[in-house]
């Protein structure tokens, strides 16, 4: 275990490296690990032959997954957009080669859960024909927005592992002026050498990318940080920077220490600034990009080429011929292993990424994604079983080596107790999951697993909290709605009651002036009497058509009284007939006296009779139906 | 001696008057503790605690009338938070069967449009009208299961929410060694075998969920 802890680290300045003219700073902690770079950086880079099938995941970036633009059976060309970005923090996906889309379905992807995720599967036709690419841009004449749009359309995301959409990162906003652009060529993780080879062979493109990004950000300087175990890369970059004749570019050699390649750690080493907790580097005036991302930016802006390939290291002592490949996005990892001579012995661990931060793969059938930088097959010797975790002895070595100056021991205790509030008090979300603490722990406690558990648990609980707030709002709205309906119902009832009483007060005044008494019973009686008289008059009019009408008209008082009596008799008979027809509906008789006063005298007596007959028939039908339902249900 | 007694008595009277005045002048309507307790509950209004909704339970718990371990959807986490808020001892949750989170789903072929479930849903997550097909808005359903028993033709079923990459959580570390189990010997899984053993795939419905 090669570790280093110097209690006076903060007081001493960083050791100057010969040839380096820039001042450097230390970050707290860090560990020295055997870098194992020589396994894979000896062989030259090779392009990998096109695979038969490309499996391109729709989510290869932070943010919303891309939405497919093609359908099954479509012919696609190399570089064609096959899925478009959804929202601002998202990225489009391009076809890595020409062929036919044979499926859009969930497939295995490199993810710690081992779950499947929707992918576009393309059967390559071997022709590798290009789609029509956008025009090259003269970046020095273009404005930042145009360049950002080109970077977005080309699907460029951070290729150092985080895969954050690059156009978003290069848009810090007007209120965050950028003083330094940092290119991350540190590649601090053991075994991985793809960035090393990229810097050696594509230094020109990296420098071009740096200049494009400097133009976009309006920053006065660019620092390219490279660890001192990559002398050839440093020389190549320095040469290209000199050729570019750009005084803003500085290639800075930094001491090899894990995890110098962490964004916040590199910023600290090169500028001495600390990114605040819960903050981003733009807040201290810095933007940091991986060297691979810079090369991709150059490709997109100067040649219109979208992000469809990357360099991947295949290494580990369980691989026959460890080396680096230029690989199309969507190539199965198994193809890379096969091209590297296949497995040579027992594979204890298969990882996507490095030994410290890589994720465990159960199968090599996963595709290479935009941030997939290494296939690592480790033997038992390289990755010994540390045995079961022992009890924490509170030695504090973990805190000595944490590069973020956190307290891993305290976070461990609280995460173990599932006390998520206290874990967050110890700045859980500043943890970069580098694994230094777990590496030095004498009890072999899997510390990073506890922090990962705590982080996802906190996010899940926040999500649940938001969902229950939303449910509470809906419930409250529902209660309010029901209350409102109840109030409206009550108001309607009240109105109906009021509508009845004024009419009762008005009718006796018109009919019998003598009955204008304040007694409620008298008023009701008067109401009923008035209703009866109205109905009688109506009946008299309809009972005997023309002669009745003629008879109703005589000015003779006696004749009028006789007509009234006749009408009353007919009314009684009609009522009896109606009562026989209505067997069960109880509310109908109650409605009748209420209906009578509100009915207007019909102009046509025959129509009135017909209508009444219809109503009677309908009532009989309803009664029969109800009886049938009760018998059947 | 007498003066001392009188002095203390006078002070006590003064403070009593002050407190009485404050109790009236600065009186708050409503129960802030009940509000805080309600904020901790999962708001599914399911009634499994025995109270008709989360607000009545919160008020009962704030008054001290109810035990804090009655909320089943909230589980142990809610019970601990309530204990923390009210200063009570964490109570035993008893036999809790960990049910996976589920959402209700109406079988369209069986629904008769009686609107009984519409009326029972506490968050109005069911849309429909009389004699029209009813449907549950997946994003609004809280999984309280109040509608299941109200359906006269038994067409509502609880469908567990499928896990997606977005909802996946790192598991709590067990005491297994950091190497996560005995080393996988020679990597036998090729692409074909992996597909046959079947990775966990996402349901079509996951696109609807939340």
- Answer whether residue A506 is part of any domain: yes
**Residue B188 or A426, more confident:** A426
The residue whose two tokens read 């050839």 is A232
Domains and CATH numbers, chain B: 9-98 (1.10.15.40), 99-164 (3.30.70.20)
Asked if A329 and A369 touch (Cβ cutoff 8 Å), the reply is yes
Chains A, B: CB pairs < 8 Å:
147
Same domain, A517 and A506: no
- Answer whether residue A359 is part of any domain: no
CA–CA min distance A592, chain B (Å)? 30
Q: φ and ψ at A257, to 5 degrees?
A: -160, 135
Same domain, A534 and A617: yes
From the CB of residue A134, how many other CB atoms can be counted at a distance below 10 Å? 16
For an interface test with B, the pick among A106, A369, A388, A414 (most B C-beta atoms closer than 10 Å) comes out as A106
3-state secondary structure A225-243: EEECCCHHHHHHHHHHHHH
What does the block give as tokens for A563?
Answer: 């007509």
Residue B51's Cβ-side half-sphere holds a number of Cα atoms within 13 Å equal to 21
From the CB of residue B150, how many other CB atoms can be counted at a distance below 10 Å? 15
Same domain, A611 and A469: no
> Whole-prediction pTM value?
0.74
Residue A331 CA to residue A484 CA, distance in Å, equals 61
Query: Cβ of B190 under 8 Å from any chain A Cβ?
Result: yes
Same domain, A255 and A393: no
Same domain, A498 and A517: no
- Answer whether residue A217 is part of any domain: yes
Last residue of a domain, one of A272, A305, A338: A305
Tens of pLDDT, residue by residue over A190-203, are: 999 999 999 999 99
B-contacting residues of A 382-441, CB under 8 Å? 383, 385-389, 418, 438
Last residue of a domain, one of A258, A274, A305: A305
Specify the DSSP class assigned to residue A343: B
Could you tell me which of A398, A474, A393, A494 has the C-alpha nearest to residue A438? A398
- Answer whether residue A366 is part of any domain: no
Same domain, A168 and A22: yes
Cβ–Cβ below 8 Å for A360 and B122:
no
Across A122-133, average pLDDT: 94
Q: What pLDDT, on a 0 to 100 scale, did the predictor assign at position A136?
A: 95
Across A586-602, average pLDDT: 44
- Residue A504 sits in a domain whose CATH number is 1.10.1060
In the predicted structure, residue A542 carries a pLDDT above the cut 90: no
Last residue of a domain, one of A266, A283, A305: A305
Across A533-556, average pLDDT: 60
Same domain, A492 and A593: no
Tens of pLDDT, residue by residue over A172-184, are: 988 999 999 999 9
Q: What pLDDT, on a 0 to 100 scale, did the predictor assign at position B175?
A: 62
Same domain, A544 and A475: no
| H-helix or E-strand spanning residue A370 | none
Tens of pLDDT, residue by residue over A209-234, are: 999 999 999 999 999 999 999 999 99
Domain containing residue A217: 1-32+136-305
Residue A548 CA to residue A540 CA, distance in Å, equals 7
Residue A241 CA to residue A224 CA, distance in Å, equals 10
Cβ–Cβ below 8 Å for B201 and A116:
yes
Q: How confident is the model at residue A343 (pLDDT cuts 50, 70, 90)?
A: very high
Q: What pLDDT, on a 0 to 100 scale, did the predictor assign at position A122?
A: 96
Residue A491 CA to residue A497 CA, distance in Å, equals 10
Across B104-120, average pLDDT: 90
| H-helix or E-strand spanning residue B10 | helix B2-25
Tens of pLDDT, residue by residue over A374-383, are: 999 999 999 9
Cβ–Cβ below 8 Å for A363 and B191:
yes
Q: How confident is the model at residue A354 (pLDDT cuts 50, 70, 90)?
A: very high
B contacts of A481 (beta carbons < 8 Å):
124
Q: How confident is the model at residue A604 (pLDDT cuts 50, 70, 90)?
A: low
Residue A313 CA to residue A38 CA, distance in Å, equals 12
- Where does residue A20 rank: exposed (0-12), middle (13-18), buried (19+ CB within 10 A)? middle
Same domain, A433 and A547: no
- The string of DSSP codes covering B80-114 is HHHHHHHT-PPPP--S---PPPEEEEE-TTT----
């Amino acid at each position: 275990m090669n570790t280093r802890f110097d209690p006076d680290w903060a007081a001493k300045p960083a050791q100057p490296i010969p040839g380096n003219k820039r001042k450097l700073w230390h970050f707290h902690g860090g560990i020295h690990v055997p870098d194992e770079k020589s396994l894979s950086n000896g062989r030259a880079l090779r392009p990998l032959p096109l695979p038969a099938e490309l499996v391109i995941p729709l989510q290869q970036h932070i943010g919303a997954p891309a939405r497919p633009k093609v359908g099954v059976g479509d012919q696609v060309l190399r570089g064609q957009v096959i899925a478009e970005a959804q929202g601002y923090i998202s990225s489009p996906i391009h076809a890595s080669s020409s062929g036919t889309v044979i499926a859009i379905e969930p497939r295995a992807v490199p993810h710690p859960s081992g779950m499947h995720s929707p992918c576009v599967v393309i059967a390559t036709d071997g022709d590798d024909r290009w789609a029509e690419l956008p025009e090259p841009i003269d970046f020095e004449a273009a404005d930042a927005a145009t360049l950002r749009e080109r970077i977005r359309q080309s699907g460029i995301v951070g290729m150092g592992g985080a895969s954050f959409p690059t156009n978003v990162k290069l848009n810090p906003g007007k209120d965050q002026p950028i003083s330094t652009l940092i290119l991350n060529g540190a590649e601090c993780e053991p075994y991985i050498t793809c960035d090393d080879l990229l810097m050696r062979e594509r230094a020109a493109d990296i420098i071009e990318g740096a200049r494009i990004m400097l133009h976009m950000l309006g920053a006065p300087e660019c620092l390219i940080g490279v660890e001192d175990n990559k002398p050839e890369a440093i020389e190549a970059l320095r040469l290209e920077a000199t050729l570019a004749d750009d005084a803003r570019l500085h290639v800075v050699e930094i001491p090899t220490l894990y995890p110098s390649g962490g964004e916040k750690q590199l910023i600290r080493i090169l500028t001495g600034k600390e990114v605040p907790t819960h903050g981003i580097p733009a807040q201290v005036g810095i933007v940091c990009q991986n060297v691979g991302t810079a090369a991709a930016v150059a490709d997109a802006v100067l040649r219109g080429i979208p992000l469809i390939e990357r360099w991947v290291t295949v290494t580990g002592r369980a691989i026959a011929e460890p080396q680096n490949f230029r690989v199309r996005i969507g190539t199965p990892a198994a193809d890379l292993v096969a091209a590297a001579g296949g497995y040579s012995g027992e594979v204890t661990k298969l990882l996507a990424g490095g030994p410290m931060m890589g994720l465990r793969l159960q199968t090599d059938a996963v595709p290479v994604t935009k941030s997939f930088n290494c296939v690592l097959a480790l033997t038992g010797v390289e990755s010994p079983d540390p045995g079961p975790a022992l009890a924490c002895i509170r030695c504090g070595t973990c805190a000595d080596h944490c590069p973020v100056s956190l307290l891993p021991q305290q976070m461990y205790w609280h995460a173990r107790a599932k006390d998520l509030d206290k874990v967050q008090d110890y700045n859980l979300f500043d943890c970069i999951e580098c694994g230094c603490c777990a590496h030095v722990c004498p009890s072999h406690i899997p510390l990073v697993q506890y922090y990962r558990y705590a982080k996802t648990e906190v996010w899940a609980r926040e999500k649940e909290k938001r969902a229950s707030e939303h449910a509470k709002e809906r419930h409250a709205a529902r209660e309010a709605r029901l209350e409102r309906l109840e109030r409206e119902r009550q108001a309607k009832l009240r109105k109906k009651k009021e509508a009845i009483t004024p009419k009762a007060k008005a009718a006796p005044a018109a009919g019998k002036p003598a009955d204008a008494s304040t007694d409620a019973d008298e008023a009701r009686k008067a109401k009923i009497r008035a209703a009866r008289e109205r109905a009688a008059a109506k009946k008299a009019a309809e009972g005997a058509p023309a002669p009745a009408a003629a008879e109703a008209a005589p000015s003779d008082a006696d004749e009028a009284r006789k007509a009234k009596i006749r009408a009353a008799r007919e009314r009684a008979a009609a009522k009896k007939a109606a009562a026989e027809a209505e067997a069960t509906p109880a509310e109908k008789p109650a409605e009748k006296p209420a209906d009578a006063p509100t009915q207007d005298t019909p102009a046509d007596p025959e129509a009135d009779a017909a209508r009444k007959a219809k109503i009677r028939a309908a009532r009989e039908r309803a009664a029969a139906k109800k009886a049938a339902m009760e018998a059947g249900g | 001696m007498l003066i001392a007694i009188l002095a203390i008595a006078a002070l006590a009277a003064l403070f009593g008057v002050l407190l009485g005045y404050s109790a009236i002048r600065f009186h708050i309507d409503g129960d802030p503790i009940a509000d805080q307790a309600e904020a901790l509950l999962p708001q599914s209004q399911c009634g499994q605690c025995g109270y008709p909704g989360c607000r009545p339970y919160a008020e009962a718990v704030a008054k001290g009338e109810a035990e804090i371990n009655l909320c089943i959807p909230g589980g142990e986490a809610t019970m601990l938070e309530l204990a923390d808020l009210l200063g009570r001892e964490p109570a035993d949750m008893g036999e809790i069967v960990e049910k996976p989170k589920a959402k209700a789903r109406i079988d369209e072929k069986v629904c008769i449009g009686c609107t009984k479930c519409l009326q029972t849903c506490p968050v109005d997550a069911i849309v429909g009208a009389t004699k029209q097909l009813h449907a549950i808005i997946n994003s609004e359903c809280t999984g309280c299961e109040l509608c299941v028993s109200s359906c006269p033709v038994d067409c509502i079923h609880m469908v567990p929410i499928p896990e997606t990459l977005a909802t996946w959580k790192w598991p709590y570390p067990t005491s297994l060694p950091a190497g996560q189990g005995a080393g996988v010997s020679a990597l036998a899984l090729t692409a074909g075998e992996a597909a046959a053993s079947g990775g966990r795939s996402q349901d079509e419905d996951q696109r609807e969920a939340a």
